[in-house]
Amino acid sequence: MNSKNNIRNSCDTGETPPRRSFLKTIAMGATLAGAMLMGAGQVQAATTWKIQSTWDAGTVGYTLFEEWCKSIEAKSGGELKFQCFPAKAVAADNNALFDAVRNGVLQGMNPFTLYWAGKIPASVFLSSYPAGPDQPHQWDTMFYSMGMLEKTREIYKKFGLFYVGPIQHDANIIHSKQPVNSLDDLKGMKIRVPGGMVAEVFQQFGVSTVSLPGSDIFPALEKGTIDAADFVGPAVNYELGFSQVTDYIIFGPPGVMSIYQPVDLMDLTVSLRAWNSISPELQQLVEDEVRIYSQKHYLAIQARNIEAMEKFKADGDTVTRLSQEDLETWRKAAIPIWFNWANKNDDARAILDIQLKYMMNDTVGYITEEDIKGF
């Protein structure tokens, strides 16, 4: 009787019976837990950046880039994801790639920096050029210790882009149907080269230069419409079958694979809108990862180069080398062309100024005041 009275009294006074109170507590807890999980899911949902490389699918370059892109989601704790695409997958050519990133169709690109010479004249000095700095560490020094990275970002910002950082790749080399043992041997040859400053210097030595996309090089060599062709380094060039259509590989002096493009840099560039949409912590992660990937990419390519050179020789290809004297002659021909490009605008001039300061320092000693007198 007392217990009944107690229950009745509880109801009369508005107190919740124990069982009902317990169930209500569970329901409220579940609601709160669900809200917390939803909130956590919103915070951790990955921001996806679509990034197109200029590497063709199936090449060692693209394989390395794809592996790196896949690693970003885990490294960012699920906050950022890189969805990568090979050349032409989204943007059909280089001009379309540049515009696709600016317009937001893609959030980023992994190009050879030199591709933008026509749009950003300073970019000819953001990757190696004829007789310029010819060792990878020299470029890292200029970018990360001498203010060249900050200046580059300032330039790219004018185009609505953020230059995250350089990615070390390789030297560019020439495969030829005929031997070239000196600069004199170049006279009269028809050679595929990238264009711009590189083509202008080759023309000083009597070369007829041709601009061809990478996919057209093999058939042009096979048909004999060109005598030789520049492309990237041994690893990729072997994959493209160049040993089947040429007999000679032209290098610079020992220690220098190429006198015209010895450190062919790539980069990661993203739209400024995409960059500003992520947190400072994620921005720092991406910057750090680009520097790490730069080293990994470079070292992996160099290991493949050694293997590829053995294959080239097994296929009967012969390496010919230009001399140190040839390199010095080449640099004298290149210097006036450096200044022609630097004078296209203030940005190009500012980048070359940083590099001249470095090349003229006694730690490098590539050029002297006398070499640039009058320019």
Task: Say which amino acid occupies 357.
Answer: K
Give strand pairing partners of 51. 84, 108
- Binding positions for substrate are 172, 192, 230, 261
Binding residues: 172, 192, 230-231, 261
Within a 13 Å sphere around the CA of 168, how many CA atoms are in the beta-carbon half? 22
Sorted by sequence, the CB contacts under 8 Å of residue 336 that are 6+ apart come out as 375
Amino acid found at 288 = D
Q: Is 344 exposed, middle or buried (0-12, 13-18, 19+ CB in 10 A)?
A: middle
Tokens representing residue 208 in the block:
């007829």
Taking Cα atoms as reference points, which of 263, 260, 262 lies closest to residue 203?
260
Binding site for Na(+), residues? 231
Under 8 Å CB-to-CB from 196, ≥6 apart: which residues?
A: 114, 117, 118, 124, 341
